Structure 1
Amino acid sequence: MSINKEIESTHLVKRVALIIYLKSVSDQFKLRRFGDIVYFSKNMKYCVLYVNRKDAREVKEEIYHLDFVTYVEISAEEEVNLDSQHIEGQLTEMAKEAEKKLQLEQEKNEDQMQ
């Protein structure tokens, strides 16, 4: 069972992250009235703001129209599959690819030595 399905069975307020790209580093403080800032990057000039999921679309539109904002997007965390079987399958696939690469490198090295 995924984390999101477990949270749905509780009475917690569901939240979602908005990634907001800014024109100036100092403008992040103006966003506090919309939600909780959980991360800010000075170099990349963006911040991650958590808002209630049911209000996310309206808040996104409101923030997008602010003069100091260049772009706003809603996090794709819902699309991430955190199911253990899916993750194990990905790890197995990656291990097979790594083995193939190692075998190719070993064959190359053997050819070069001969």
Structure 2
Amino acid sequence: MIAERTGYIVWLHDAKPARNLDKYGSLHYVSRKMNYAVIYVNSDRAEETMKSIQRLPYVKKVERSYRSEIRTEYNSNMPDKTRFYSY
């Protein structure tokens, strides 16, 4: 059974110690230019993990990712116009 995951964006003072975040969850992405990391943790322990990450000296702030709440199923009421542009 697959556990529910919650994504967090961790803003950092420096991107070099970001590899230490791997012990808190799945480290998905690290931006060295913008100094942030994306980490996924289990939903049942997400709040405790977030509090422990915030205590780290190289972390500015932690934000929850709302990617799972964005609607990804699209429907269109407009007709397909590709047949008008074909030769």
TM-score if structure 1 supplies the norm length?
0.62
Alignment of 1:1-114 (within 5 A): 11-85=1-75, 88=76
Deviation at 1:59, TM superposition (A): 0.7
Q: Deviation above 4 Å: which 4+ runs of structure 1?
A: none
The AA in structure 1 aligned to 2:73 is D
Aligned length: 78
Greater Rg, structure 1 or structure 2?
1
RMSD over aligned CA atoms reads 1.5
Q: Which runs of 5+ in 1 are unaligned?
A: 1-10, 93-114
**Structure 1 partner of 2:84:** none
Give the number of the structure whose residues are more often helix, by fraction: 1
Deviations 1:1-54 (A, max 9, x none): xxxxxxxxxx21111211101111211022111011111100000010111111
Aligned counterparts of 2:26 and 2:70: Cα–Cα separation in 1: 22
**Which consecutive unaligned segments of at least 5 residues does structure 2 have?**
79-87
Percent of matched pairs sharing the same residue: 28
TM-score (norm 2): 0.79
Shift of 1:67: 1.1
